[in-house]
């Protein structure tokens, strides 16, 4: 079969690095990351093997939600620098053959955005319909109440906020400082499209689109089903997620903006539907996006299997594998493309979650996760610091160290619940201890501690007082030490990213899971029929009491022909180039990738 070269795309083969600007690098002494700080690390990222830099929001913002509440889409927040600083970063990135992607946050704006200030000025404002307003309802007691029972994504309160000045409620699916834009208004869409063109014409190479599948709401705003009886307000679910009109808006975005640029577009798309639903966003003939982030695999250790911040310590590897196996097999069948990530600014560190953070196992665990992620399907996303093997914040940190608004509101909401139901004393203390235990495992703060560049004061992040506490392990776990160490987690990540360019079946190959019910191993093959190349991946994720244990995998029982197998990557002491002669024993948190069949050369 002849390889269809047209199926190869630079954005499929790219390694994307997400930068959370506040915590990346401060070039001065302000204690907050800056664009000039990012500029100083471009060569570090190029050396790692990164192709695309994605900047989380750097726009002007009151920072109610760390920049995801934008007050001016075409201005840089002074804490990060200036547009001229952005230009310098763009030029440095492009000079190295890399690309620069911006965050697009257009489900909502800040309540301090000029659009919203004008919208709320009066019911007759020309921009009144740029946001979603409602007069509300009157309950049986004659009291004014919100239009429905939808719960804000943060906290446990309503998605509706009463605006005394103009005499109506406005909708905010996140914080009250983040009013939702009305995407049913063509003027809103045109303003967003004009802003996107402005950035692309300035030299941006594309967008990561924040909760882009939230931009359409159910007509009439019906009540959500009661799924949390202890609370007044309920998760809105598909009443504001993945609605059919989202696809209409994205097709229009493509026609009016994206088709004119060779740009990189990935949508963040929460939701509980399966691959059939999410493939629609990235199936090429539909002309919407190139790929989307889904969240199904991020729920494996959450209480009740949900999207909240409760922690389930008794999660099973087989359950997590079922999610990955489903998505890595079904999404490609439906023409979709996968955004392959383990960590981001909204998630805790994966070594803590899925492997072992003990000193004797941490580096090996970090390398095992690199083996895993770099051998799964889709475009690779590395979250800042992930290449260094980071772990969650220390257990000893008190709640005052949690800076994220979601964590703060969750703590406040749980205390309000205890007060509402009259739980006090030791019972209340025990309850809140459980809340804080869960946050240590699941909070967004875990991924937002500043990057540890070296062993100097404040880990080389800043010469000033950092906005968030530095993890205490920075004297040992830092980029300077790992860059010099050929056996470090970072050096292993560099090798694995290079391996994806050497073996294209890691990008384009069919994913076939093996031994799916095992709770000890994760095994699968990657095969690209067009070239004949085939790889076997064997990973030891045995947890036992949390410290792991050795396992033996009989590849013959997996139904894989390993005649002529050749080892191409591992995080143990196995000799590269060695074969498989009988069962394979893997030490705790170890994995290997074998080449089973050579592939023919690709056409130019």
Residues 329 and 463 both lie in one domain: yes
Residues 480 and 350 both lie in one domain: yes
pLDDT tens digits, one per residue of 470-500: 999 999 999 999 999 999 999 999 999 999 9
More confident residue, 554 or 308: 554
Q: Work out the pLDDT band at 546, boundaries 50, 70, 90.
A: confident
Residues 17 and 42 both lie in one domain: yes
Residues 275 and 332 both lie in one domain: yes
Percent of the chain predicted with pLDDT > 90: 92
Residues 96 and 135 both lie in one domain: no
Active site residue 262: no
Q: What pLDDT does residue 3 have?
A: 38
Last residue of a domain, one of 139, 171, 203: 171
In this predicted structure, the answer to whether residue 308 has a pLDDT above a threshold of 80 is: no
- Residue among 85, 205, 210, 515 flagged as catalytic: 210
Residues 232 and 348 both lie in one domain: yes
Residues 394 and 432 both lie in one domain: no
CA distances for 59 relative to 24, 182, 343, 425, 467, angstroms: 16, 21, 23, 45, 18
Residues 475 and 515 both lie in one domain: no
In this predicted structure, the answer to whether residue 603 has a pLDDT above a threshold of 80 is: no
CA distances for 491 relative to 92, 227, 366, 410, 532, angstroms: 23, 46, 11, 38, 29
Q: Work out the pLDDT band at 8, boundaries 50, 70, 90.
A: confident
181 found inside a domain: no
Q: What pLDDT does residue 2 have?
A: 34
Q: What pLDDT does residue 230 have?
A: 84
Residues 312 and 347 both lie in one domain: yes
In this predicted structure, the answer to whether residue 453 has a pLDDT above a threshold of 50 is: yes
Count: domains in the chain: 4
Q: What pLDDT does residue 604 have?
A: 55
Residues 485 and 426 both lie in one domain: no
In this predicted structure, the answer to whether residue 243 has a pLDDT above a threshold of 50 is: yes
Q: How far apart are CA 319 and CA 301, in angstroms?
A: 10
Round the average pLDDT of the chain to a whole number and report it: 95
pLDDT tens digits, one per residue of 80-112: 999 999 999 999 999 999 999 999 999 999 999
Percent of the chain predicted with pLDDT > 70: 98
Per-residue pLDDT averaged across 217-229, rounded? 96
Q: How far apart are CA 405 and CA 154, in angstroms?
A: 8
CA distances for 171 relative to 105, 129, 148, 174, 414, angstroms: 16, 12, 10, 9, 23
Q: How far apart are CA 67 and CA 190, in angstroms?
A: 23
Q: How far apart are CA 115 and CA 70, in angstroms?
A: 11
265 found inside a domain: yes
27 found inside a domain: yes
Among 285-289, 318-322, 417-421, 494-498, the range scoring the smallest mean pLDDT is 417-421
Per-residue pLDDT averaged across 140-154, rounded? 95
In this predicted structure, the answer to whether residue 274 has a pLDDT above a threshold of 90 is: yes
Q: What pLDDT does residue 304 have?
A: 63
Secondary structure of the chain: what % helix, strand, coil (to 5)?
A: 35, 20, 50
Q: What pLDDT does residue 303 have?
A: 76
Residues 373 and 237 both lie in one domain: yes
Residues 31 and 65 both lie in one domain: yes
pLDDT tens digits, one per residue of 15-71: 999 999 999 999 989 999 999 999 999 999 999 999 999 999 999 999 999 999 999
Query: At 525, which CATH number?
Result: 2.60.40.1180
Q: Work out the pLDDT band at 398, boundaries 50, 70, 90.
A: very high
- Residue among 26, 180, 268, 404 flagged as catalytic: 268
Q: How far apart are CA 489 and CA 190, in angstroms?
A: 46
Active site residue 473: no
For residue 529, what are the domain limits?
508-597
Q: What pLDDT does residue 1 have?
A: 29
In this predicted structure, the answer to whether residue 602 has a pLDDT above a threshold of 70 is: no
């Amino acid at each position: 079969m002849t390889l269809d070269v047209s199926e190869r795309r630079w954005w499929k083969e790219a390694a994307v690095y997400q930068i959370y600007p506040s915590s990346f690098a401060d070039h001065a002494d302000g204690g907050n990351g800056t664009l000039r700080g990012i500029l100083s690390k471009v060569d570090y990222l190029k050396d790692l093997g990164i192709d695309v830099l994605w900047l989380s929001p750097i726009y002007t913002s009151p920072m109610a939600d760390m920049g995801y509440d934008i007050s001016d889409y075409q201005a840089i927040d002074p804490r990060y620098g200036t547009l001229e600083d952005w230009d310098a970063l763009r030029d440095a990135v492009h000079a190295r053959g890399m690309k620069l992607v911006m965050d697009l946050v257009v489900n909502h704006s800040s309540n301090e955005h000029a659009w919203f200030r004008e919208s709320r000025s009066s019911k007759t404002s020309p921009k009144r319909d740029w946001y979603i307003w409602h007069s509300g309802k009157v309950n049986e007691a004659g009291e004014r109440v919100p239009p429905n029972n939808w719960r804000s994504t943060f906290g446990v309160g309503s998605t509706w906020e009463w605006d005394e000045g103009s005499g109506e409620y406005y909708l905010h699916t996140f914080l009250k400082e983040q009013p939702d834009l009305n995407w049913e208004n063509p003027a809103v869409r045109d303003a967003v499209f004009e802003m996107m063109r402005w950035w692309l014409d300035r030299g941006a190479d594309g967008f990561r689109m924040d909760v882009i599948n939230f931009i359409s709401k159910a007509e009439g705003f019906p009540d959500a089903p009661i799924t949390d009886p202890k609370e007044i307000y309920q998760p809105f679910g598909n009443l504001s997620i993945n609605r059919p009109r989202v696809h209409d808006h994205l097709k229009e975005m493509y026609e009016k903006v994206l088709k004119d640029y060779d740009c990189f577009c990935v949508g963040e798309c929460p939701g509980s539907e399966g691959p059939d639903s999410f493939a629609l966003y990235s199936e090429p003939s539909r002309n919407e996006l190139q790929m989307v982030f889904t969240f199904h695999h991020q729920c494996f250790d959450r209480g009740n299997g949900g999207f909240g911040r409760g922690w389930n310590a008794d999660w099973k590897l087989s359950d997590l594998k079922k999610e990955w196996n489903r998505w890595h097999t079904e999404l490609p069948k439906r023409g979709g493309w996968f955004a392959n990530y383990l960590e981001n600014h909204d998630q805790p560190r994966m070594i803590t979650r899925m492997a072992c953070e003990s000193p004797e196992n941490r580096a090996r665990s970090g390398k095992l996760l690199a083996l895993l992620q770099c051998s799964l399907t889709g475009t690779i996303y590395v979250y800042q610091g992930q290449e260094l093997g980071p772990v969650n914040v220390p257990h000893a940190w008190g709640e005052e160290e949690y800076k994220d608004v979601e964590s703060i509101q969750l703590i406040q909401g749980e205390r309000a619940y205890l007060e509402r139901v009259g739980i006090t004393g030791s019972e209340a203390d025990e309850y809140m201890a459980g809340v804080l235990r869960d946050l240590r495992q699941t909070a967004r703060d875990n991924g937002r501690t500043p990057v540890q560049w070296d062993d100097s004061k404040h880990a080389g992040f800043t010469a000033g007082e950092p906005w968030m506490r530095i993890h205490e392990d920075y004297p040992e776990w830092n980029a300077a030490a790992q860059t010099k160490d050929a056996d470090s987690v970072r050096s292993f990540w560099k090798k694995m990213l290079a391996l994806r360019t050497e073996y294209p079946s890691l990008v384009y190959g069919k994913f076939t899971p093996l031994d799916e019910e095992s709770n000890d191993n994760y095994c699968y093959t990657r095969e690209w029929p067009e070239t004949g190349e085939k790889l076997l991946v064997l990973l030891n994720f045995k947890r036992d009491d949390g410290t792991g244990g050795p396992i033996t995998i009989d590849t013959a029982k997996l139904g894989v022909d390993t005649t002529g197998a050749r080892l191409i990557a591992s995080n143990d002491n196995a000799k590269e180039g060695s074969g498989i002669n009988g069962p394979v024993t893997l030490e705790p948190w170890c994995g290997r990738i074998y080449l089973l069949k050579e592939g023919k050369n690709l056409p130019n």
